[in-house]
Structure 1
Amino acid sequence: MERLAIAAILIVAAIVVASLAQRRRAASPSAVARSELPPAVDLAAVGMPQGPALVVFTEETCRTCSAALAVVRGPAGAGLPVAEVPFGAERELHRQHGIDTVPTTVVTDIDGRVVDGWVGSVDLSGLAAALAQVVRRPGPPEG
């Protein structure tokens, strides 16, 4: 009888652990397709000057948002200006741009058009490709 009780407790514990692990995976979405991104961002409205930029729509309690910001503010962001648009302070900007999931990270060109972006985790290879499209390196001097 004692072994049966111990087995039952172990089964219940395994179910609880599996349930928690599944919730954690669901709370940390992976990168998704471009179709869920806004077509453009009003750079002036998010406090950015005209030019290529990285814009991250966030929410205060979102851990994935902090990770996305760390990625784009670090060397992976290629020194581009970064705007954080927190939901609590900028609900209207989230609504205007159709943002319903955070983090939503976008790379914009000089006119604010979205070149690429991610809902959830930032895809580093995709980020590098998007940055290559918007960052213009000076060519050799003409002579």
Structure 2
Amino acid sequence: MALEMTGQCAIACPRERVYAALNDEAVLKACIAGCEEIERLSDDTMRAAVVAKVGPVKAKFRGKVTLSDREPPSRYRITGEGDGGIAGFAKGSALVTLADLPEGGTRLSYQVEAQIGGKLAQLGQRLVAGTAKQQADLFFANLVRYLDAPPAE
């Protein structure tokens, strides 16, 4: 099953700070719902484990994430593959672009293309797409909260 999704959000921080956060595995772990671990393997590769629930199917996905097409602090492409065992697999990429807002802050835009197979694909496009959209919205809400929080002492 193929899945495409686009979206954007406004973040009240400079592009440089948003870009740095999107490349920090500790920030990603804090913002991705169900993320149990992220480990940086190299400058542009990470390994992750995420527990996801789509309808009646709950699975732990393990996989690699690669960052490419980097143009700090304006854009990058994040590509990943995850195996959820009997639940299925997911692979895809997202182009993330950052632009200055006229009133200050940053507009983050994303374009996602993904392939899903196994039991997850049998659940139907509407359920999977709805869950993916919810997870994206939650990630960006968490990112905004993280960037708005005062720095730790």
Higher strand share: 2
Higher helix share: 1
- Decide which structure has the larger Cα Rg and report it: 1
TM-score normalised by L of structure 2: 0.25
TM-score normalised by L of structure 1: 0.26
